[in-house]
Structure 1
């Protein structure tokens, strides 16, 4: 989805075709391809877990609003979601490093002696 961002922008804003745009799109596609095969940590959503009861209604409302916006303004929402995903990469790297430091500082678990 992120690699299609130039197409979303082109369709939304009707940008004129030019030679520099072709090179910019090619560089962007190579950049995203590099992210796909790199070891840079990124948010995956697998570890969200359960939503706490006190914010469940808020999360439910946010998901419903996102779906309504996606149905009403599909290209604009795809642009926002793609840019938000790319913007979260530095925060994911920082969180991953913090967790790695905590794991390194934690004492090793004791083996069960039977």
Structure 2
């Protein structure tokens, strides 16, 4: 099922647009997180405008949300855990995140 995300689009204002992207598929050491909050910073917009992030790719690096699928290898937080993360593609409704790139919210 697709998810909504902010993607790079050089033809759009600020080089960003809302789009549907495929639901992420986590690797063995990744959790799947439903994103509830993200922080926008100048670097994200610079990534969109500079070509550093390819056209159509999901932007963002900071996200917070809830784990909806634990890592297949047994590492990381369990389903229902609130987390914050530094990860690429954070500006999506759902994102696969390496367990080493997140922290539990106390």
Per the normalisation by structure 1, the TM-score is 0.23
> Which has more radius of gyration?
1
Normalized per residue, the structure richer in helix is 1
Normalized per residue, the structure richer in strand is 2
